[in-house]
Amino acid sequence: MRHYQLFIDGEFVDSVSRQTFDSINPFNQEVVAKVARGNTEDAQRGVAAARKAFDEGPWPRMPREERASFLKAISDKINEKQKDLVALEVLDSGSTVRKAKEDIYLSARNMHSFSKMAALDLTENIEGLSKPGFSQNFLVREPVGVVGAIIPWNFPLKMAIWKIGPALAAGNTVVLKPSELTPCTAMELATIIREAGIPKGVVNIVPGFGEDAGEEIVKSPLVDKVSFTGSTAVGRKVMALASQHLKKVTLECGGKSANIVLDDADLNLAVDGAMYAIFYHQGQCCEAGTRLFLPKTTYDEFMDKLIAKTKKLKLGDPNDVATDLGPLISKRQQDRVLGYIAEGKEQGAHVTVGGSVPTEPSLSKGFFVEPTVFTNVDNAMKIAQEEIFGPVLAVIQYSSVDEAVALANRSIYGLGGGVWSKDKVRAMDVARRLRAGTVWVNEWHLISEKAPFGGYKQSGIGREFGLDGLKEYTEAKHVHVDELGSREKKFWYDTVVPK
Ligand code: NAD
């Protein structure tokens, strides 16, 4: 079992209350780590350290290339510690080892990409306004200040990197609160940050719960921006709390992404793609393809293949490379998913595969739910409208592409979407009509550091990744430099100033 303290102002310290909480392995319920429980006062200590590092420390003022080299060092160290981080992510989050390997590899790669962004000069000459002899006009991008970052449990290290990376690249300082369910790799990241020589107070990591540490970070007048990833329900709360100081917010929230198979799709590819879209990480992905729209013409053939393949998915020990689906994160999440399955049945949908907790004795201590496929689903049903965050697919038949697009857009969410077709022109037309931040054609789950990622509607506000994502961590400043010189040439010469 590991022990973790808070990481504040470059030091590992106990919480003021000396309280700890246990992080549990969702496969066998063993304690993975005892973690210091950061409360309100601890969050304030983290915020104060980040404030001081921003106002007085070298980080926001150092040359861009130097900041970039620090971020590159973090990336290199994640690579060096890859094996340990993979093992820890599996234990702490129930991620299959196959997914965890990808997560840790991508955490390092994403940080490397943020290090390159840190070196970019974002200053622009404002074309059309600058005119020799009149004025020069610059758009200067400056860090926002202290960033409060709050993350969920489904991609623990990756989410920490997605917050810390761009915030630091733009010159901000950070207070991060990892999820109380998966704090371990974020705390290992604290060690990496120390080893990489990042100046004290630039990154502070306060593990703890939403209602005390989380809310304090959001409410603190010393925090300039909140970057939150989590459920839409908590996102609404975060936005309301942040409004007290008109704090800037980036919200990356829930989804109910629509996956539309057109009648000319390669069926074998689309079946595999639909399974990857929903069952990857047991359906605990924000942009999972949870609603599958099938044309009536190919419905039977598609469903025969989908059902046969879903039955072959292997639930098991996440450490076993043969395992396709591990446990859900917690008993609470397992109960929530089972609750949705019961409601789906009550509302008249049919469970075609799965629908229960597996009975194998070897899985009895894990929070498992079978991969579940619902048919006879109406898009208005709860299982088609609410984010379940488990391995539950709602299949909906459609008669025309217009109907499929209309149903797909009938949702409060707009995070991801997908179209399967051999005809790129048809697919692009549907992609454009979907009200979602990312749409894949014949693909799913591909998120790149080079492209913006985020939600339409109640899936969020703002973007992560790409230059748009970096700019979320900057303030835009207009600097006007006069070139007229003499007083007489000024446009205000005749207005208020006496001659
Ligand atoms: P959650 O909203 O319950 O918690 C997210 C984080 O917020 C946790 O660290 C939690 O402690 C904290 N929190 C809870 N209440 C808070 C409060 N009142 N004030 C401040 N912080 C508070 O979400 P979760 O269950 O951890 O994660 C699953 C959710 O995250 C899903 O809805 C999923 O769609 C979403 N998610 C979105 C993205 C995205 O990029 N859009 C990515 C991953 C996960």
Q: Which one, of 386, 359, 356, lies nearest residue 369 by Cα?
A: 356
- Which residue has a Cα nearest atom 26 of ligand 1? 152
Average pLDDT over residues 436-454: 97
* Mutation choice for ligand 1 from 35, 205, 229, 244, CB with most ligand atoms inside 8 A: 229
**Does residue 355 have its Cβ closer than 6 Å to ligand 1?**
no
- Mean pLDDT over each residue of the chain, to the nearest integer: 97
Question: Has residue 306 got a pLDDT over 80?
Answer: yes
**Does residue 381 have its Cβ closer than 6 Å to ligand 1?**
no
* Mutation choice for ligand 1 from 99, 154, 176, 223, CB with most ligand atoms inside 8 A: 154
What is the layout of strands, in order, in the sheet containing 135-143?
124-125, 135-143, 474-482
The model's pLDDT over 36-50, given as tens digits with 9 standing for 90+, comes to: 999 999 999 999 999
Please give the distance, rounded to the nearest whole angstrom, from the Cα atom of residue 230 to the centre of ligand 1. 2
The model's pLDDT over 205-251, given as tens digits with 9 standing for 90+, comes to: 999 999 999 999 999 999 999 999 999 999 999 999 999 999 999 99
Average pLDDT over residues 291-295: 98
**Distance (Å, rounded) from C-alpha 206 to C-alpha 216?**
11
Q: Which one, of 435, 436, 392, 385, lies nearest residue 415 by Cα?
A: 436
Please name the residues in contact with 481: beta carbons below 8 A apart, sequence gap of 6 or more: 135, 136, 137, 138
* Nearest-5° Cα angle at 184, 182 to 190: 125
Q: Classify residue 354 as left (phi > 0), alpha (psi -120 to 50) or beta.
A: left
Q: Of 184, 253, 285, 286, which residue is the catalytic one?
A: 286
What does the chain come to in residues?
Answer: 499
**Distance (Å, rounded) from C-alpha 472 to C-alpha 225?**
9
In ligand 1, the atom with minimum distance to the C-alpha of 155 is: 43
Distance of CA 384 to the CA centre of its chain: 22
Question: Which phi and psi angles does 279 have, rounded to 5°?
Answer: -95, -10
* Mutation choice for ligand 1 from 232, 234, 472, CB with most ligand atoms inside 8 A: 234
Distance of CA 312 to the CA centre of its chain: 30
> Which pLDDT value is given to residue 89?
98
Average pLDDT over residues 260-279: 98
Single-letter amino acid code for the residue at 301: E
Please give the distance, rounded to the nearest whole angstrom, from the Cα atom of residue 231 to the centre of ligand 1. 4
Query: In this structure, what DSSP letter does residue 38 have?
Result: B
**Contact indicator for 72, 245 with CB cutoff of 8 Å:** no
Single-letter amino acid code for the residue at 24: I
Q: Which one, of 31, 79, 21, lies nearest residue 206 by Cα?
A: 21
**Distance (Å, rounded) from C-alpha 449 to C-alpha 454?**
12
Q: Which one, of 285, 254, 54, lies nearest residue 155 by Cα?
A: 285
The model's pLDDT over 408-429, given as tens digits with 9 standing for 90+, comes to: 999 999 999 999 999 999 999 9
> Which pLDDT value is given to residue 490?
87
CATH class of 2-253+459-479: alpha beta
CA terminus-to-terminus distance, the chain = 79
**Distance (Å, rounded) from C-alpha 405 to C-alpha 321?**
38
Query: Could you tell me the two tokens for 113?
Result: 């990409």
Question: Which phi and psi angles does 352 have, rounded to 5°?
Answer: -95, -30
Single-letter amino acid code for the residue at 233: A
Average pLDDT over residues 187-213: 98
Q: Establish whether 286 is a catalytic residue.
A: yes
Domain regions of the chain by residue span: 2-253+459-479, 258-441
- Which residue has a Cα nearest atom 35 of ligand 1? 230
Question: Which phi and psi angles does 113 have, rounded to 5°?
Answer: -65, -40
Q: Which one, of 471, 473, 456, lies nearest residue 253 by Cα?
A: 456
Q: Which one, of 332, 372, 328, 375, lies nearest residue 354 by Cα?
A: 372
Average pLDDT over residues 336-357: 98
* Mutation choice for ligand 1 from 39, 47, 150, CB with most ligand atoms inside 8 A: 150
Strand partners, 146: 173
Query: In this structure, what DSSP letter does residue 458 have?
Result: T
Q: Of 252, 387, 449, 472, which residue is the catalytic one?
A: 252
Please give the distance, rounded to the nearest whole angstrom, from the Cα atom of residue 280 to the centre of ligand 1. 19
Please give the distance, rounded to the nearest whole angstrom, from the Cα atom of residue 229 to the centre of ligand 1. 5
Question: Has residue 499 got a pLDDT over 80?
Answer: no
**Does residue 397 have its Cβ closer than 6 Å to ligand 1?**
no
Q: Establish whether 488 is a catalytic residue.
A: no
Strands 392-398 and 289-295: parallel
**Does residue 186 have its Cβ closer than 6 Å to ligand 1?**
no
**Contact indicator for 258, 411 with CB cutoff of 8 Å:** yes
**Distance (Å, rounded) from C-alpha 303 to C-alpha 66?**
55
Single-letter amino acid code for the residue at 420: W
Among the residues of 4-81, which ranges form H helices? 40-56, 64-80
The model's pLDDT over 95-138, given as tens digits with 9 standing for 90+, comes to: 999 999 999 999 999 999 999 999 999 999 999 999 999 999 99
**Does residue 21 have its Cβ closer than 6 Å to ligand 1?**
no
Strands 173-177 and 124-125: unpaired
How many of the other CB atoms lie within 10 Å of CB of 494? 9
Please give the distance, rounded to the nearest whole angstrom, from the Cα atom of residue 234 to the centre of ligand 1. 6
Q: Which one, of 491, 474, 470, lies nearest residue 482 by Cα?
A: 491
Average pLDDT over residues 459-486: 96
In ligand 1, the atom with minimum distance to the C-alpha of 460 is: 41
- Which residue has a Cα nearest atom 11 of ligand 1? 210
CATH assignment of 258-441, given 3.30.565.10, 3.40.50.300, 3.40.309.10, 3.90.45.10?
A: 3.40.309.10
Confidence of residue 371 (pLDDT cuts 50, 70, 90): very high
Please give the distance, rounded to the nearest whole angstrom, from the Cα atom of residue 168 to the centre of ligand 1. 22
Q: Which one, of 350, 382, 386, 388, lies nearest residue 369 by Cα?
A: 388
**Does residue 152 have its Cβ closer than 6 Å to ligand 1?**
yes
Share of the chain above pLDDT 70, in %: 100
Confidence of residue 400 (pLDDT cuts 50, 70, 90): very high
